[in-house]
Structure 1
Amino acid sequence: MDLTAKDAARMLNVNEDQIYAWIRNGTLPSYRVKDRYRLNRVELLEWAAARSIKVAPEFFHENQQADGDLLLTGALARGGVLQDVPCTDKTSALREVCARLKLPEQIDRDELLSVLLAREALCSTGIGNGVAIPHPRGPIVLGLAEPSVSLAFLSQPIDYRALDKKPVTVLFVIISTTVHIHLTLLSHLMFALQDGQFRELLDRRAAEDAILTKSAEIERRVLQADKARGGAR
């Protein structure tokens, strides 16, 4: 789903004039439809994260699963945490991660790598503060029954052409099954990355159990806030 300038202003807690100023100076990615600016929701999330701009909580609630599942936590549990992934650059990092992902044998890992590299050629998924989220603009269709998110801690910092120009040491690789789930996973992950304790776990390369516990705690907060917001209507 794409956004209007008014939507973007509400989500970033700024006025519309600021949105238009960012668009005019080329800072904020956008495009025009019938003389009106539109912004891609995924790009806006990445842009805000790279600049440490807080996104309004209701933005994340809009993509919440109706059944209340802890979608990100479940996807992380399936994808797992990869420690000390050897690499020298972006391509070698993604190649090694694709080789280690928990995927069925019939999945073509070379095809997956090609899709991820094609997305990086379009625009880096390095969102800043040492984190990148390799993914296409839509879901990767691999015939999987459930989505997964794999967290990879790299053996050394690498140049990822991130928005803040800082080297990357952490990758979250998202493999989705539908457009809605892709957007929800990305939204929940961006929300988690705004949490100081979650970021601290990443900085010290915590064990998988600790990361999953914190992820579940954060997602439950989102669910509770969404329930409270719904009850207030």
Structure 2
Amino acid sequence: MDHDWLTLADLARETGRDQRELERLTLRGRIPAHKRGTEWQYHTSEIRGWIEQELRGFTDAELASFEQSQSESVPLADTLLSTYLSEEQVQVPLEGRTKRSVLEGLVEAAGKTWKVWEPAVLLQAVIERESLMSTAFEKGVAIPHPRQPLPSSLEDAVIAFGRTNSPIPFGAPDNSGTDLFFLVASRDTRTHLRILARLGRVIQKPGLLDDLRNAADAREVFGILSAADTAFEAG
């Protein structure tokens, strides 16, 4: 999904969904699309945003299916979270009482791997994405990320995790506070979307968010996420 435009067939292949279903959703205005002659065309940046919103409502089974659709043509790391997240990228507690200060702390944590070549570019990209629409979910979780891949600013995809001592306003749909943050930055769209799907499954796992909140330190947080990651792959 790294060229500018997709056909209906491309979209079906990229999302792992039936082409006829996607055409019906397009005709109903549910998918951002452009009519070029007699064919529908889909701009990659608009589709990426649409997919991100769609993933929020997916069940675990649907997220797992979507993950698989993103790995068929380009092999990806088996243990997603453990590949792109390390203990040193976990910040507990994450200092910050405002959205910007939390994002600054997350980018700093991500930069500990040396995979982030341009921290200022990453921070600005994440801030700009948040200005369009908050990445906060219900349940006190947010997944900040840039709107577009950053191939020139990253050596590889990177995840950082932070937990604030108390929830802060972050734009959650139910107006609740947010205290658990996953920063995601990727060089390509496919990896980005698969990581989002995996994190969506983590958020839905019974008891896992409570475990993250009760974890004593970064090592325990990383162990919890690694165990969940391995269990998903084994399943």
Same fold, TM-score > 0.5, yes or no: yes
Residue equivalent to 1:63: 70
Hey, what's the Cα distance between the residues in 1 that align with 2:116 and 2:48?
A: 32
Which among 199, 208, 214 is matched to residue 198 of structure 1? 208
Superposed, 1:87-166 pairs within 5 Å as: 87-101=96-110, 102-104=112-114, 107-166=117-176
SS at match of 2:70: coil
| 1:85 maps onto 2:104 in alignment | no
Deviation at 1:76, TM superposition (A): 1.3
Q: Assess if the C-alpha contact under 8 Å between 1:193 and 1:199 holds in 2.
A: yes
Between the aligned residues of both structures, percent identity stands at 22
Q: Deviations over 1:94-128 (max 9, x none)?
A: 12333343153983332222111101111111122
The 3-state SS of whatever aligns with 1:40 is helix
Q: State the shift of 1:89 in Å.
A: 1.6
| Residue correspondence of structure 1 range 217-228 to structure 2 within 5 A | 217-225=227-235
The answer for the alignment partner of 2:177 in structure 1 is 167
Q: Which residue of 2 aligns with 1:40?
A: 47
Which residues of structure 2 form unaligned runs of 5+? none
**Which ranges of structure 1 fall in alignment gaps of 5 or more residues?**
11-15, 226-233
Aligned pairs for 1:12-27 within 5 A = none
The structural deviation recorded for 1:85 is 2.1
Task: Tell whether the 8 Å contact from 1:85 to 1:155 is kept in structure 2 after alignment.
Answer: yes
Deviation for aligned residue 1:78: 6.5
- Aligned-partner SS, 1:181: helix
| One-letter amino acid matched to 1:127 | F
Which whole-Å deviations, capped at 9, do the CAs of 1:46-105 have from their partners, x for residues lacking one? 4553x6855513122222473653122121116621012222221122123333431539
The answer as to whether partners of 1:120 and 1:134 remain within 8 angstroms in 2 is yes
Change (3 A) 1:58 1:127: same
Contact 1:79 1:149 in 2 (8 A): no
Q: Letter of the 1:98 partner, please give it.
A: V
Q: How many residues align?
A: 212
C-alpha separation between the residues in 2 aligned to 1:78 and 1:176?
19
Residue type matched to 1:209 in 2?
Answer: R
